[in-house]
Amino acid sequence: MEPFVTLTGTAAPLLRANIDTDLIIPKQFLKTLVRSGLGRYLFQELRYDSEGRERAEFILNQGRFRQATILLAGPNFGCGSSREHAPWALRDFGIRAILAPSFADIFYTNCFANGLLPVQLPTEAIEALAAVAEPLTVDLPTQQVRGGGLSFSFDLEPARKAVLLEGLDEIKRTEANLADIARYEARRRSVAPWLEIRTS
């Protein structure tokens, strides 16, 4: 997984509340287990009409926002059903950071597993950043969002911060503890050998 350190890019404002996972990536696109290619279906019902034509009024169909790497959102972003395809679609589109007043718990956790940084900021801060015409910078080491002369700090659990800074997915995190796992298994075999599964 690509590490997340400092990101400077265009921020697209999509400030409506309660954007759920079905709006992020509709259910008909959940059959795939491949993470690539889902970006074209991101916000399908908002980006395209029933004939597949772009809706000019939707923010990600407008000028510089087509290349947005930061999404400014309203409260309770990612609510609804638990689907990891939602962060997959955002990442595949090019979004690396989402700034919102609050996130649904499962979506928030899924972001870290997929290299996305969800940043919680007060509504007033999000609205102020949405008014900035220049690129924003999301600085993970200092835990700050800057742009247009504004600067906002955000909180993040140290373990989750480390996962993004080091680019560790769940497999890499497990592999980092293989020596401890081997020691535990050896100790368990010596004190509780009856727990071992015999194959013959």
Which contiguous run of DSSP H or E holds residue 99? Answer: strand 97-100
Give a yes or no: residue 61 inside a domain.
yes
Burial of 97 per CB tally in 10 Å (0-12, 13-18, 19+): buried
| Whole-number pLDDT of residue 116 | 96
pLDDT of 75:
98
pTM of the model: 0.85
What the block records as the tokens of 100 is 């919102």
What is the identity of the amino acid at 155? D
| pLDDT value, residue 173 | 64
Assigned domain for 174 exists: no
Q: How high is the pLDDT of residue 187?
A: 85
User: So what's the pLDDT on residue 170?
Assistant: 65
Q: Are 165 and 6 in contact (CB under 8 A)?
A: no
Residue 198 lies in a domain: no
What's the confidence (pLDDT) of residue 175? 64
192 found inside a domain = no
- Give the separation between CA 70 and CA 150, rounded to whole angstroms: 16
Query: Does residue 189 lie in a domain region?
Result: no
Residue 27, domain member (yes or no): yes
For residue 123, being part of any structural domain is answered with yes
**Tens digit of pLDDT per residue, the chain (200 long)?**
889 999 999 999 999 999 999 999 998 887 777 778 899 999 999 999 999 999 999 999 999 999 999 999 999 999 998 888 999 999 999 999 999 999 999 999 999 999 999 999 999 999 999 999 899 999 999 999 999 999 999 999 999 999 999 987 666 666 667 788 878 888 888 888 887 776 65
Listed in sequence order, the DSSP H helices in the chain are 21-24, 44-47, 85-93, 105-113, 123-130, 158-166, 170-175, 178-191
Residue 150 lies in a domain: yes
- Sorted by sequence, the CB contacts under 8 Å of residue 71 that are 6+ apart come out as 11, 12, 14, 90, 95, 97, 98, 99
Residue 104, domain extent: 6-169
CATH number at residue 50: 3.20.19.10
Number of domains in the chain: 1
